[in-house]
Amino acid sequence: MLKLKILILAQLFCLGLQAEKPNFIIIFTDDQGYQDLGCFGSPNIQSPNLDRMAAEGIKMTSFYMGAPLCTPSRAALMTGSYPIRIDMAVGDGFAVLLDGDKKGLNPDEITIAEVLKTAGYKTGMVGKWHLGDQPEFLPTRQGFNEFFGLPYSYDISPYHQNNKKFDFSPLPLLDGETVIEKNPDCDHITKCLTERAVQFIEENKEEPFFLYLPHPAPHRPLYVSEEFRREAPEAVKAKLAQEEGYIDYKSRDKLYKYVINEIDWSVGQILESLKRCGIDDNTIVLFTSDNGPVAKTGCALPLRGNKGSFYEGGVRVPAIIRWPSKLQAGQVSDEIMTAMDILPTFAKIAGAEIPTDRVLDGKDILPVLLGEEKSPHEVIFYHQKNALKAARSGDWKLHVEGDSAVALYNLAEDISETKNVLEGNGDITEKLLQYIKAFKADIKANNRPAGWVDNPVTLIQK
Catalytic residues: 70, 130
Q: How far is CA 118 from CA 114, 271, 278, 315, 349, in A?
A: 7, 26, 25, 31, 13
Q: Is 164 helix (H, G, I), strand (E, B) or coil?
A: coil
Other CB atoms closer than 10 Å to residue 271's CB: what's the count? Answer: 21
By the 8 A CB rule, do 393 and 379 touch? yes
How far is Cα 306 from Cα 337, in angstroms, rounded to an integer?
19
**What secondary structure does DSSP assign to 115-128, as a single string?**
HHHTTT-EEEEEEE
Nearest 5 degrees, angle CA 251-CA 186-CA 190? 105
How far is Cα 197 from Cα 206, in angstroms, rounded to an integer?
16
How far is Cα 73 from Cα 21, in angstroms, rounded to an integer?
27
By the 8 A CB rule, do 73 and 82 touch? no
End-to-end CA distance of the chain: 68
Q: Which residues contact 284 (CB under 8 A, 6 or more apart)?
A: 22, 23, 24, 25, 321, 322, 323, 346, 349
Strand partners, 408: 398
The H-or-E segment that residue 400 falls in is strand 396-401
Q: How far is CA 67 from CA 83, 108, 247, in A?
A: 7, 21, 28
DSSP designation for 69 = S
How far is Cα 59 from Cα 376, in angstroms, rounded to an integer?
18
Q: At what angle do helices 256-276 and 48-55 cross, to 10 degrees?
A: 50
**The dihedral formed by the CA atoms of 260, 23, 375 and 367, expressed in degrees to the nearest 10:** 140
How far is Cα 141 from Cα 459, in angstroms, rounded to an integer?
16
By the 8 A CB rule, do 98 and 156 touch? yes
φ/ψ of residue 20, rounded to 5 = -80, -15
Q: Is 94 helix (H, G, I), strand (E, B) or coil?
A: coil
CA-based radius of gyration for the chain: 22
